[in-house]
Copies of this chain bind each other. A is one copy, B any other.
Amino acid sequence: MSSTHNAVTAGRPSGRSAVAVPQLIADARAGSPRAVARLITLVEEASPLLREVMAALMPHTGHARIVGLTGSPGVGKSTSTSALVTELRKQGQRVAVLAVDPSSPFSGGALLGDRVRMSLHATDPDVYIRSMASRGHLGGLSWATPQALRVLDAAGFDTILLETVGVGQSEVEVAGLADTTLVLLAPGMGDGIQAAKAGILEIGDVYVVNKADRDGAAQVSRDLRGMLSHSERAADAWKRPILKTVAQEGTGVAEVVEAIDAHRAYLEATGELARRRTKRARVEVEEIALGELRRRWGAVSGSAELDMLAARVATAQLDPYAAADELLKDR
């Protein structure tokens, strides 16, 4: 690889100086938000440097706890994320927020949310907030979320809040990549049924009924309790708590952090943490390998060799299966 390929401008306008990958990683680990941003931009842009970046990050990973947040629009997801950041900061933790919209190629909505939250945490050097553009829900960027999480883990954050934007199956899948997944609901939105539809109930470890000071909060809790009882797990398994918050005022947020800690202890005690992290790595490795196969196929499909083999099949010198074998040989 040439030195040009080893230098990073991270897709910024020209004029920004290039930085070598090892220096960028050292800077990110030393607390530079700009270096972290550049590394995540490399992920977002599917940079050819990612192979080198990921290999270099590996030795520095495994510390962060990753907490997923999901829920329908209007449940107060951004406000809850902000309140959780405040609570975790009280404990002295370094906190990163990664907002991913797996159903949209644009990060506009997430960026709007960023601005609101930035106003609360913008001056705190131990809080890093980033939205990541995703490129459609057809699987092309399934490796991107695990890689962005790896960047933040290696950069030394204690907790990473993985917030999914939008609704649907792909959102649920992204949130499911976390160590602990919070499902947020709120009264007056028919959330119980919506949540069940989206498969959210399957992935939650901790359930939070936000806007708990409003009419109907108790009903949402009861409905949810009823639904969870239908899918209750084994006797020794984690009992999924249903908590109430008023995120706007910070009410109940400390209890949510306690529940996250309790779930973490459960994960470690049972070996479930390793299982979840393996699942996350599985998604990433599988997607990288699939991308490589797609690349190989492109080379096969457009090749002069295919033309030559097809001509031999057309003139009955070769049968089509033998031609296909030949085409795939050494690939």
Contact between A319 and B58 (Cβ–Cβ < 8 Å)? Answer: yes
**Chain B residue at smallest Cβ distance from A282:** B310
- Chain A contact surface mostly: helix
Contact between A314 and B55 (Cβ–Cβ < 8 Å)? Answer: no
**Which of A274, A306, A313, A322 neighbours the largest number of chain B CB atoms within 10 Å of its CB?**
A313
Contact between A281 and B62 (Cβ–Cβ < 8 Å)? Answer: no
Docked Cα-Cα span, A321 to B310, in Å, equals: 34
A37 close to chain B: CB less than 8 A: no
A162 to chain B, nearest CB (A): 16
Question: Known interface pairs A278-B307, A289-B324, A321-B55. Does A313 touch B284 (Cβ–Cβ under 8 Å)?
Answer: yes
Contact between B62 and A320 (Cβ–Cβ < 8 Å)? Answer: no
> Which B residues touch A324, using CB under 8 A?
285, 288-289, 292
Contact between B314 and A286 (Cβ–Cβ < 8 Å)? Answer: no
A108 to chain B, nearest CB (A): 29
Question: Known interface pairs A280-B314, A311-B281, A319-B58. Does A306 touch B327 (Cβ–Cβ under 8 Å)?
Answer: no
For chain A, the count of residues having a C-beta within 8 Å of the partner chain is 48
Q: Which residue of B50, B61, B316, B328 is within 8 Å of A292 (Cβ)?
A: B328
> Which B residues touch A307, using CB under 8 A?
278, 282
Question: Known interface pairs A59-B316, A320-B143, A322-B55. Does A310 touch B297 (Cβ–Cβ under 8 Å)?
Answer: no
Contact between B309 and A274 (Cβ–Cβ < 8 Å)? Answer: no
Among A288-331, those with CB < 8 Å from B are: 288-290, 292-293, 296-297, 300-301, 306-307, 309-311, 313-316, 318-324, 327-328
A54 close to chain B: CB less than 8 A: yes
A277 close to chain B: CB less than 8 A: yes
> Which B residues touch A311, using CB under 8 A?
274, 278, 281
Contact between A314 and B278 (Cβ–Cβ < 8 Å)? Answer: yes
A51 close to chain B: CB less than 8 A: yes
Docked Cα-Cα span, A286 to B324, in Å, equals: 7
**Which of A55, A279, A289 neighbours the largest number of chain B CB atoms within 10 Å of its CB?**
A289
- Pairs A–B under 8 Å by Cβ, sample size 28: A51-B319, A54-B320, A54-B321, A55-B319, A61-B316, A143-B320, A147-B320, A274-B311, A274-B314, A274-B315, A277-B314, A277-B315, A278-B307, A278-B311, A279-B310, A281-B309, A281-B313, A281-B320, A282-B306, A282-B307, A282-B310, A284-B310, A284-B320, A285-B323, A289-B324, A289-B328, A290-B297, A292-B324
Could you list 6 further interchain pairs (A-B, Cβ under 8 angstroms) beyond the known A55-B321, A278-B313, A288-B321? Answer: A55-B319, A143-B320, A281-B309, A282-B310, A285-B313, A285-B320
